[in-house]
Structure 1
Amino acid sequence: MKDTNPFDVAIIGGGPAGLSGALVLGRARRSVVIIDEGKARNRVTRETHGFLTRDGSSPGEFRAAAAEQMRRYPSVSFVQDAAAEISGADGAFRIVTSGGDAYEAKKLLFAAGKKDRPLDIEGLADVYGISAFVCPYCDGWELRDQPLAVITSGEGAMHMAKTLAGWTSSYAICTNGPDGLTDEQREALAKRNIPLYDAPIERIESKEGMVEQIVLRDGRRVACTGIFFAPTLVAGSDLPQSLGCEMTEAGSLVINDFGGTNVPGVFGAGDAATIKYQAIMAAAMGSMAAVGINMELLQETWDNA
């Protein structure tokens, strides 16, 4: 096992939230270690959208650009590994990685995001990130004016029915079983000529990642060139809970305006601490959490002078 000198901050997760936090902390002259296993949830996508100056960059390009800019700040270190265990308390945390290395830090920032549960519809994994997405604000422009399908039910179906209208007038809703809608909601969809299919989905047919149609178990087929669906997500790391961090039912860390959790010295940012899954939101949260961390460190130095 390799031990290193203590860091001011250890960041678990190297996506937009963790990288943005590291940038702010590096500029504040803090020693930082970013521990990331390189398995970001958005690695299946070809492009990142809606992030000013980085619109259209692949997740890999985004991270490479961030790493290049971070070289200006020698107090920031990168470790490609997974954080496996965390012990200690505010001012003296100890992180052990899957590879057996250990790192000590005064503060922790969890920015490990969330993870997709296995996709249980045959063929969905083949198109995910290519022609099937989860957020119209992120990927609707690329599918504008095309025939699309939405895979979700209940209130989520109504939300997407209203939202997708901004990008296309041709879309159907596939609920993959009972629709979970009221009679009034079904009438609202019918009034707007939005097809509703409540049969279970047999499979999604595609060619080289491009959706062609959704085949239902009752034999009907829904032709489409793109899909939006509601994924099932879980927390990207169980380590915050092991430290006693409060979590929401959605698996998000409960944080204050500067990313602080209920556990002293532990902060959260990005998808790990919100259900607003946009890269630019994650980066902003990482920046604010870094300010919160630095404020605590400055106050502690002031008090101990």
Structure 2
Amino acid sequence: MESTTHDVIIIGGSYAGLQAAMTLGRSLRKVLVVDGGKPCNRQTPHSHNFLTHDGHTPAQIAAEAKAQLAAYPTLEFLEDTASSAVKNADLFEISTIFGRKFNARKLLFATGIADVMPNIKGFVECWGITVIHCPYCHGYEVRGQATGVFGNGDGGYEYVKMISHWAGGVTLFTNGASTLTDEQTSKLKSHQINIIETPVAEVVHQNGIITNVKLADGSKLPLAALYAHLPFKQHCELPMLLGCELTESGHIKNDGFGKTNVNGVYAAGDCVDPLRSVASAVRGGMAAAAFINKELINEDF
């Protein structure tokens, strides 16, 4: 099969990937964006805290971005999923699940992360709607309302402390025996923050909108929102197969501007950035693309 060579292949076409494509297109680079069309925020009804797009749907933002990118003739989009990536001499070869092959001098992974959901009925259906992770993205919309935090230990303590700034009343669900210190427990109780150790059995909802949380003992607690920091894994294994190192948190290690430990391989967006917001993803995509372009200039000069 004949291969096509690009300056850069971007794997992942959400916010970081789209911004990187724009930056590289404006840098006169031949770019291919390979995207499977399953962004991690596909259930989220509205995106917030992104200047000029506050309250727009994720799909609206992506559609407008793609319409603007159509003005750059060196950009190409492919609805497909990368299945392998190998380094051959000075080029990377990408294969897709539909049998296509492409070559590029540089790779940029903007593939995001995959949340590992707890085995709790209703949790998945509410994720990104009323089971949420970020108060800067969603906190204003549920301000002053009865709010739960799903967490435990030091992480749960810091999380519930932050969420209490937005919430009208907060309950910490440790989903089992509390691992809070005595001092942490006392501090939370002094702020009228209830701690429930009984495991959560179900997030009761109507079309993703929480009505209450049902506990293992059958009791129910009305809630408007439930915050959760979930464990995650990399959505795409290809960076690690190429030799990219991960941080202790599980993100792809980079130099702050997207460059990984593997020469020619960059990463941007949620796969590297714990801030996990549209604005942060856009920033990361732009920075990585600018440094990729600089690296290409240096090699060709």
Under a length normalisation based on structure 2, what TM-score does the superposition of the two structures give? 0.97
Secondary structure at the aligned position of 2:4 is classed as coil
Residues 259 and 89 of structure 1, relative CA distance in 2, 3 Å threshold: farther
The answer for the alignment partner of 2:174 in structure 1 is: 175
Does 1:282 find its partner at 2:265? Answer: no
When structure 1 is superposed on structure 2, of 116-125 and 182-191 the one drifting more is 116-125
The answer for the alignment partner of 2:60 in structure 1 is: 61
CA distance in structure 1 between the aligned counterparts of 2:87 and 2:215, rounded to whole angstroms: 52
Equivalent residues of 1:90, 1:264 under 8 A apart: no
Secondary structure at the aligned position of 1:47 is classed as coil
Where do residues 86-97 of structure 1 align in structure 2 (5 Å cutoff)? Answer: 86-89=85-88, 91-97=90-96
How far the C-alpha of 1:212 sits from its partner, in A, is 1.2
Where do residues 253-268 of structure 1 align in structure 2 (5 Å cutoff)? Answer: 253-268=252-267
The answer for the alignment partner of 1:296 in structure 2 is: 295
The answer for the alignment partner of 2:114 in structure 1 is: 115
CA distance in structure 2 between the aligned counterparts of 1:126 and 1:5, rounded to whole angstroms: 40
When structure 1 is superposed on structure 2, of 84-93 and 283-292 the one drifting more is 84-93
CA distance in structure 2 between the aligned counterparts of 1:108 and 1:156, rounded to whole angstroms: 34
Equivalent residues of 1:90, 1:107 under 8 A apart: no
The answer for the alignment partner of 1:130 in structure 2 is: 129
Once the two structures are superposed, residues 229-266 of structure 1 have per-residue CA deviations (whole angstroms, 9 ceiling, x without a partner) of 12221101100111111111322111113211111100
Residues 50 and 221 of structure 1, relative CA distance in 2, 3 Å threshold: same
Residues 151 and 90 of structure 1, relative CA distance in 2, 3 Å threshold: farther
Equivalent residues of 2:117, 2:230 under 8 A apart: no
CA distance in structure 1 between the aligned counterparts of 2:272 and 2:222, rounded to whole angstroms: 37
The answer for the alignment partner of 1:139 in structure 2 is: 138
Under a length normalisation based on structure 1, what TM-score does the superposition of the two structures give? 0.95
Secondary structure at the aligned position of 2:212 is classed as strand
How far the C-alpha of 1:129 sits from its partner, in A, is 2.2
Residues 89 and 179 of structure 1, relative CA distance in 2, 3 Å threshold: farther
Residues 283 and 91 of structure 1, relative CA distance in 2, 3 Å threshold: farther
The answer for the alignment partner of 2:77 in structure 1 is: 78
Equivalent residues of 2:125, 2:208 under 8 A apart: yes
When structure 1 is superposed on structure 2, of 6-15 and 217-226 the one drifting more is 217-226
Identity %: 36
The answer for the alignment partner of 2:191 in structure 1 is: 192
CA distance in structure 1 between the aligned counterparts of 2:81 and 2:5, rounded to whole angstroms: 18
Does 1:148 find its partner at 2:150? Answer: no
Residues 121 and 90 of structure 1, relative CA distance in 2, 3 Å threshold: farther
CA distance in structure 2 between the aligned counterparts of 1:154 and 1:275, rounded to whole angstroms: 19
How far the C-alpha of 1:90 sits from its partner, in A, is 7.0
CA distance in structure 1 between the aligned counterparts of 2:88 and 2:4, rounded to whole angstroms: 17
Equivalent residues of 1:10, 1:109 under 8 A apart: yes
CA distance in structure 1 between the aligned counterparts of 2:264 and 2:207, rounded to whole angstroms: 47
Secondary structure at the aligned position of 1:204 is classed as strand
How far the C-alpha of 1:47 sits from its partner, in A, is 1.0
Secondary structure at the aligned position of 1:294 is classed as helix
User: Structure 1: which amino acid aligns with 2:254?
Assistant: I
How far the C-alpha of 1:4 sits from its partner, in A, is 4.3
CA distance in structure 1 between the aligned counterparts of 2:135 and 2:158, rounded to whole angstroms: 11
Residues 153 and 89 of structure 1, relative CA distance in 2, 3 Å threshold: farther
User: Structure 2: which amino acid aligns with 1:108?
Assistant: L
Does 1:39 find its partner at 2:20? Answer: no
CA distance in structure 2 between the aligned counterparts of 1:229 and 1:284, rounded to whole angstroms: 25
When structure 1 is superposed on structure 2, of 292-301 and 218-227 the one drifting more is 218-227
Secondary structure at the aligned position of 1:43 is classed as coil
Segments of structure 2 that go 5 or more residues without pairing to the other structure are none
How far the C-alpha of 1:156 sits from its partner, in A, is 2.1
How far the C-alpha of 1:31 sits from its partner, in A, is 0.5
Secondary structure at the aligned position of 1:38 is classed as coil
CA distance in structure 2 between the aligned counterparts of 1:245 and 1:25, rounded to whole angstroms: 22
Equivalent residues of 1:91, 1:265 under 8 A apart: no
User: Structure 2: which amino acid aligns with 1:296?
Assistant: E
Q: CA RMSD in A?
A: 1.3
